[in-house]
Amino acid sequence: MAVAELTIDLGALCANWRALSSLSQLDTGAVVKADAYGLGLAQVAPVLAQAGARQFFVAACEEGSALRDILGSGPEIFVFSGHMEGDTDLIRNAKLTPLLNSIDQMLRHVEALPGHSFGLQLDTGMNRLGMEDAEWRALRDIALAQRPALVMSHLACADTPAHPMNRHQLQNFVDMTDEIDAPRSLAATGGILLGEEYHFDLTRPGIGLYGGLPYTDARSVATLSVPVIQTRDVMPGETVGYSNTWTADKPTRVATIAAGYADGIIRAIGKDAWLWAGDVRCKVLGRVSMDMIAVDVTDLDEEPLALDLLNSRQGVDSVADWAGTIGYEILTNLGGRYKRRYLPA
């Protein structure tokens, strides 16, 4: 078989949710946008619901509609993009709760779906989504009279605990929402780790569920094992891969494995990347190709059948560092060619 195998440990994912939930002792939702960060919405969302999550967050109404089909009528599904033009039927039919980001969205929602559930998103300094302070002050009394299901904002620098932006946004959120009669939410994974004053009424972990930073205590969720197609001996002075970017300086045993940038393995990792054969690290040689990667297996006692790019020793953030990116990008890029295997919760 020349197809890499991606194993998703649903038990580890649920353990991460429970651990993050225990840090707040409040309602804990789950962010499952982008196909549950690339790991499979249809498999991930039900086990999180079984673990106790009753509030789910997605990016767009189309994701929310798909999630409603998966979860049924029970959990609340919040949509970060709010009520966009053309979303009305999806919001009504799937019983979604849009997080309204502007006066325009508020007007669209109450005119199209009077009495339908909604939440509000406030901009506390990130300048991405949400109502700014002046807009919120103009709309506040009218919006609150409609009894929003949630009032939320999002932290820009929660993965850097000492960053002054965290305190700045916290104070802004308190100033904008103090004494309102509605549930409040500020903390995703990083915000949960900042401590109790960031938790309010509902936390909404995302990347930490899937084994990514800044949650350093997360259990590993994804394992990516790539089969070896062929091995060969490369002599000193010979090169490997496109553009001759790696030259052997000693006899080297080279394995060619069956995955590449077409499978979401970012090409830029090549210079610094490693894979694992059991307890032995094996260096990537040369460039990552579309469907293949060359790896030094000289130190192995026997020919490997497969090598691991992701495992309990090497998570998505290690791979992200080699590419100059973040673990989110590694997860959401995991390719469609992989054979997927789910370990039960």
The rounded distance, in Å, linking the Cα atoms of 194 and 335 is 33
> Residue 277 is inside which H or E element, if any?
strand 274-277
The rounded distance, in Å, linking the Cα atoms of 136 and 141 is 9
Residue from 262, 256, 258, 268 nearest 224 by CA = 258
Identify the active-site residue in 37, 198, 242, 271: 242
Strands 222-234 and 30-31: unpaired
SS3 of the chain: helix, strand, coil, percent, to 5: 35, 25, 40
Identify the active-site residue in 33, 198, 215, 338: 33
Q: Is 95 a catalytic residue?
A: no
State the sign of the Cα–Cα–Cα–Cα dihedral 287, 278, 259, 298: positive
The rounded distance, in Å, linking the Cα atoms of 258 and 4 is 7
Q: Is 33 a catalytic residue?
A: yes
Q: Are the CB atoms for 79 and 29 separated by under 8 Å?
A: no
Q: How many helices (H) and strands (E) does the chain have?
A: 11, 19
Peptide bond into 183 cis (omega under 30): no
Q: Are the CB atoms for 229 and 218 separated by under 8 Å?
A: no
The two three-digit tokens of residue 64, written as one number: 């929310």
The two three-digit tokens of residue 217, written as one number: 């205590």
- What is the SS3 assignment for 311? coil
Q: What does residue 155 show for φ and ψ, rounded to 5 degrees? A: -85, 135
Q: Are the CB atoms for 55 and 29 separated by under 8 Å?
A: yes
Residue from 64, 131, 125 nearest 93 by CA = 64
Q: Tokens 């946008």, residue? A: 33
Q: Which of the residues are catalytic?
A: 33, 242
